[in-house]
Structure formats: C-alpha cells, structure tokens
Amino acid sequence: MVIMKKIKSMLFAALACVGLVVPAVIAAPAQADGCGNGNWSVVIGGLAASLDGGTWQTSSYLYGDERIEYNSANAIEGLDRLRFVMSVHRDVCPGDHIKIVAHSGGAGIAHQWIIENSWFPNANAILLADPKMHEWPGGDGFSRELWWMGYPMAGNDDWFGDFPTLTVCNWNDHICRADSDWTGYLTGAHTVYITDADYYGDWEDGAFYF
C-alpha cells in the first residue's frame, strides 16, 4: 500500500510538472512558418491530457506565430520539434528576431534548448512557470525533485550564456518555486500567466516574481 501511494504521488508530480491540463486534439506536426517581417514567435505548452486526445499538446492556449505540437509525455519529442522549427526558420528567414514563449513543461523544454544553443543569434525567450528554474530568491523549480525523469526535464540551472531569457514565476506556483506548497498550484497559481507572445519584449532578461 505504501509503495502504491508513492507511485501515485510520483505520477501526479510528473503530470503536474509538465504543466497545464487542457483538452487536446491530435493535429499535424508544426512546421516553420513564413517570415515574420522582422519579428517571429514560437510557443510551446506543457502537459495536455484528455480522454480523446491523450497527451498530445497543440500549445493552442498560447498565442504566437508558430505552435510546437508534441506528445507531452515525451519531452524529448518536444525538444526535437523545437530544434527543428528554430533551425528551419533561422535558415529561411535569417533577418527575423525569434521570440520563444513557453509555459510549464514547455518552459522546461525551451530551457534545455537554450542551454544547448546559447550562441543562437537574434533571439530571446520568455519562460513561464519553468520547472527547471534556478534563481535566488525564489529557489529551484520542481525539476529538482524529478531526477528520475532524466533528460531533458531533470535538474535546475541558469546556464543561459548570452541568450536573453526572462523567467516569470508566480510566487505560489510550486512548478517554478518548489519551496512553496501545492496549495497555490491547486488554486490557480499555475494558470495566471500571460501567454501571448506579443505581450513580451524582444530582449527581456532576468527573473520576475509576482
């Protein structure tokens, strides 16, 4: 019985980490869109779970020029899709500034992409409720408890190099601030973020708590 309780707790933690539970509809994989006349954005959401769509994430609750679609139970798939979209758009539209806006598990995926591509020019990222957050005074995000999930979701750091990255965290959101309890998450702290890419600037950097 104790073991089953621990397993259930770990499953709940994994679902909570990778984010917002939203209805999902299976759709075609996202591809890099046309050039954005100087500015272009890509958005990526967290967990999607529903009876009809399973764990397919359309990222439709975020607003940007391109949405990353992926099986949210497989973070590596989301990371691979982000790699593809960023690479193709930079090749096709070298003059565009690219802005990444990602939430929850999607922010964890974007976080890992930044670590591996901190040299990437003319781009920035906004990480909303990032579970891999590592920033004083808020402390680490929930990924500090997810060592068992492995790459790319486990672990916390801020190794962004020169890549402009703004992390935004609700003080009561356990996903980005694991020192808080689950009360805030369960009462809406995880869903109060502005998810429109146009709201955020092109060069914002640092950490913002609210």
Convert the pLDDT of each residue in 33-46 to its tens digit.
578 789 999 999 99
In the chain, where are the structural domains located? 2-209
pTM: 0.84
Give the count of beta carbons closer than 10 Å to the beta carbon of residue 115: 16
Query: What b/e sequence results for 28-38 when a residue is b if at least 16 CB atoms lie within 10 Å of its CB, and e otherwise?
Result: eebebbeebee
Q: Over the stretch 8-35, which tens digit does the pLDDT of each residue have?
A: 333 334 444 444 333 333 333 344 457 8
Q: How distant, in Å, are the alpha carbons of 2, 121, 128, 129, 144 from that of 18?
A: 25, 28, 12, 10, 13
Pairing state between β 97-103 and 39-44: parallel
Structure-token match 């990924």, residue found:
143
Q: Pick the more confident residue, 32 or 96.
A: 96
Contacts (Cβ under 8 Å, ≥6 apart) of 192:
170
CA dist 33 and 39 (Å) reads 12
Mean per-residue pLDDT, 67-89: 97
The class of domain 2-209 in CATH terms is alpha beta
Quote the mean pLDDT of the chain.
Answer: 86
Cα separation values, 59 from 65, 94, 105, 162, Å: 12, 25, 11, 27
